[in-house]
Amino acid sequence: MNIKVMAVGDVCGKVGLDFLRRNLRRLRKEHSIDFIVVNGENANVVGVTPQQCEEILDAGADVITLGNHTWMRTEIQDYLDYSSVCIRPANYAPQCPGRGVGIYETSFGKICVANLIGRFSLDANTDNPFVVADNIAADVDAKIILVDFHAEATSEKLAMGYFLDGRVSAVWGTHTHVQTSDCTVLPGGTGYITDLGMTGPINSVIGITTEQSIGKFLGDPPRRYSPAGGPGKLECAIFEIDTETGKCVHAEALRII
């Protein structure tokens, strides 16, 4: 038996959240999706609130993953302690609220979702994601293991894909908000894409107004990010996974406008 897993790229601001609410359930039906993981760490532009997490779940997500902006909204800390379906990177320090790995009972068996954050150029005070990933792959009692690797460098994400190839069902990158063209099944049977892209405003620079982003590169003084408006998009990848072996048999990236 095969199932389809949809991984949705970082939800950015009101435009992204509204687009997700309008389209996710329809996409689930149209593509016969069995399980959906959404990266929600930018739903509040920088960070996410408990209310926004609930909106993402109401939109049709089964699990929410986070990233380097996890702690930007302090009210999320208590939420992470009691929510089993919103997880933060597993390689944050153990005293941090929440959990980095979730195991979910479904009609087609256990599904494990793991969230990791990269270290290259993110200036994150975290454990080595490769060591943590190695332990997860070795210890988790589930045929289907899904990994959201929230990282800056394409090389770090691609290395993680090959590092876990054959030991997990799928590895996808998040954080850079630009969908890559390399969605594939690696030689060992792990579905992979370097970056899912984002769910947010089309006419923006990774979700922020083009004027502010250009000004930043020209040297303007720092200021709060201004989320772009206008029409939205949803970028994602779909992984078809054999429930008996946990191997990915097909992978494709989608962009919905």
Per-residue DSSP letter, 146? E
**Amino acid making up residue 128:** N
Measured CA to CA, the distance from residue 144 to residue 60 in angstroms comes to: 20
Candidate list 31, 69, 177, 250, residue with the active-site label: 69
Mapped onto helix, strand or coil, the DSSP state of residue 255 is: strand
Mapped onto helix, strand or coil, the DSSP state of residue 32 is: coil
Measured CA to CA, the distance from residue 85 to residue 66 in angstroms comes to: 11
Measured CA to CA, the distance from residue 64 to residue 256 in angstroms comes to: 20
Q: Which two tokens stand for residue 41?
A: 């760490």
Q: For residue 195, which of 212, 182, 209, 208 has the smallest C-alpha distance?
A: 182
- 250 belongs to the catalytic site: no
Return the CA Rg of the chain.
Answer: 17
Q: What is the helix, strand, coil percentage profile of the chain, to 5? A: 25, 30, 40
Name the residues annotated as catalytic.
69
